[in-house]
Chain A
Amino acid sequence: MTYFLQQVLNALQLGSIYALIALGYTMVYGILTMINFAHGDLFMVGAFFCFIAATFLKLPFVPTLLLSMAGVALLGVTIERVAYKPLRQAPRVSAIITALGVGLFLENFTLVFSPYPQHVPTLIENKTWIIGGVAISSLQVIIILLALVLMILLDLIVRRTMVGMAMRAISWDKSIVPLMGVPVNLIISITFAIGTSLGAAAGTMYSLAFPVIDPYMGILVGWKAFISAVVGGIGNIRGAMIGGFILGAVEILVAAFLPSTYRDFVAFALLLVLLIFRPYGILGKPRPQKV
């Protein structure tokens, strides 16, 4: 039983990271029906901002987190303005290819500065409590709680504020909303800022939990978060959160109870089966094409 509880805790930690990154994919898709494949690499840049802030500026945890989130948000908005906005009327495929290009650019740009893996210093004094045989580290608690707080905050912004209402309106019908006087470009920028800063928060927490970072770290995690977003129903914010926790749980529990070599194979087979029965994801709804 303690073994099971320990693995559940591991799954919650991994799941909350996936969920935070998945939110970035889902928000951009919801508003632009475009998949921002550079998001995994923005997550990596977030980890590097954390590394720079912690190593060279010697900042404590909270300023480091905020700096990383702000820096990546700025980067995300700039990328949207420079690379995606001119393609808003172009075919979707062009925008997606551009996003892949932006991702490669970010990886190689970081590679120029740091071809070697870097070590992120400890920002939070790590304590491990053993409660009923289950080892709980303070880092685990912080990651899970912070992820939950950020997700609740996002949910409140989207459901309770004017900006959130505008976001939902744009995702509902992009052509009518500007006629109602909604500043579409501003709302899109805000969406990018929020989505990418959540990715940066995930990057910061990830680099504290797994303190060796390299320019390619965003690829695998990015793909897995993207899968989480699709499983939860892409475009749906609560779906992305659920998807992240599901993927984390499946990965950890498969490795926990089957030989670990089968982990990815079984995990992704399960997700495929899930998509066969719910092709739009868990919370996604089929969108009828409007003519």
Chain B
Amino acid sequence: MRKAVLFLLIFVMTAALVGCGGGGGAATIKVGGIGELTGDIPAVGASFKNAAEMAVKEVNDAGGLEVGGKKYPIELFIEDNAGKADQSASAAQKLITQQNVVAIIGPNASRYAIPASEVAESSKVVLISPWSTNPKTTIDAKTNAPKRYVFRACFIDPFQGRVVAKFALDNLKATKAAVLYDVASEYNKGIAEFFKQTFEENGGTVVAFETYTTGDKDFSAQLTKIKEANPDVVFLPNYYSEVPLQIQQGKRLGITVPFLGSDSWGSNELISLCGADCEGYYFSTHYAPDAATPVAQKFIKDYTDKYGKVPDDVAALTYDAFGLLWMALKNAGQVDREAVRNALAQIPKYEGVTGTMQFKEGSGDPIKSAVILQIKDGKFVWFANANP
């Protein structure tokens, strides 16, 4: 009797194991997604989820993804990280061990992408973060070597800091810049420092380098100091919920020079919070909805038809992250985690919504360009391209 029970147990367990046994013999391709659906940046999570579902639906509507001569439908599992670092890691763990996904897309913000990437790296599963621009996402903090299984669909902060600094020097003819940034957030701090470095290397001077901490609303002391330093341009690499306050207070204190920003400005919320005060200013970001390539135009149209709003940069990058994964699967010719990783690391050219991307073995960061947008009549308008 006991033996029979034991046998039955082993049988059930093996069946269960085979049942969810990795992509190999399964009839579907399982893909995981981790998004900030709740927490402090729900707008990011919502765009992520919309674009992810759209990318998967397109493939399934076409009968599935053709890998090695066979068509597989895609199965998508989306987990919420609740805007928490620990939940991002546990979501990655769950997707890898329980759902047995072939790859993970997300999380988006660097502070969540970094912990999730650690789990993916140690489990040898590909993770592509659409929106995380901090260098540490794809670089191992201990060894400083690039992570083998972690990729992203966007450019990184040192590049963005350089782009904005060059733009200020060349296009705005600024020689004196001031910076105000959130010292408690890694994204803001990183860009601010790279901006300062490039600006000074190219002959400019940073006359004020001021900080605040997350949650502050009164920036009058720092802005008064900035006004006193008399800069030609003020750089604010901060999130869209804080930038309007900084610009309004700066104007009230009599700062009349242009303000500059980074991709954290690129939410439509910025315009509704800022009103006419942000008119005419510039920021660097991933793509320009109005100067789009045919690929991007189709995406923008489909997204707008489906969800009733213009896709923001998170949606576009998420869509591209899935596009990169489809290409890697096709190039690999088999549904296998290691093969997908190897194919992804060598993608020679991918025409995405956010521009042309290229991967070279030895780095998870794509080679791609950035755009500078201007805020004009309450809209984000293409102003210039910036190549790496």
Contact = CB atoms under 8 A, between A and B. Distances in A.
B362 to A, nearest CB: 36
A143 to B, nearest CB: 11
* Range, interface on chain B: 20 to 34
Interface of A: 3, 6-7, 10-11, 13-14, 115-117, 119, 126, 128, 130, 135, 137, 139, 206, 209-212, 214, 216-217, 219-221, 251-253, 255-256, 259-261, 263-264
A139 B248 CA distance: 12
A122 B88 CA distance: 39
Contacts of B215: 216-217, 219-220
B53 interface: no
Contact of B253 (A6, A206, A251): A6
9 contacts: A7-B220, A116-B269, A119-B272, A128-B254, A130-B254, A255-B222, A260-B225, A263-B221, A264-B213
B80 to A, nearest CB: 14
Nearest to A119: B273
Nearest to B273: A119
Nearest to A13: B220
Contacts of A13: 218, 220
Most A CB within 10 A of own CB, among B212, B213, B252: B252
Given A206-B217, A212-B244, A264-B213, A115 B253 contact: no
Nearest to B213: A264
A256 B42 contact: no
Interface in B240-295: 241-242, 244-245, 248-249, 252-254, 269, 272-275
Given A10-B220, A13-B220, A260-B221, A210 B245 contact: yes
B43 interface: yes
Given A115-B42, A117-B273, A256-B221, 4 more contacts: A6-B224, A10-B218, A116-B269, A210-B245
A14 B220 contact: yes
B40 to A, nearest CB: 8
Q: Is the interface of B mostly helix, strand, loop or mixed?
A: helix
Contacts of A212: 217, 241-242, 244-245, 273
Contact of A135 (B43, B244, B254): B254
B210 interface: yes
B183 interface: yes
Given A119-B272, A137-B252, A260-B212, A7 B244 contact: no
B211 interface: yes
B44 to A, nearest CB: 11
A149 B273 CA distance: 31
A139 B252 contact: yes
B183 A256 contact: no
A206 B216 CA distance: 12
Q: Give the interface centre of A128, A130, A210 by most chain B CB atoms within 10 Å.
A: A210
Contact of A128 (B183, B210, B228, B252): B252
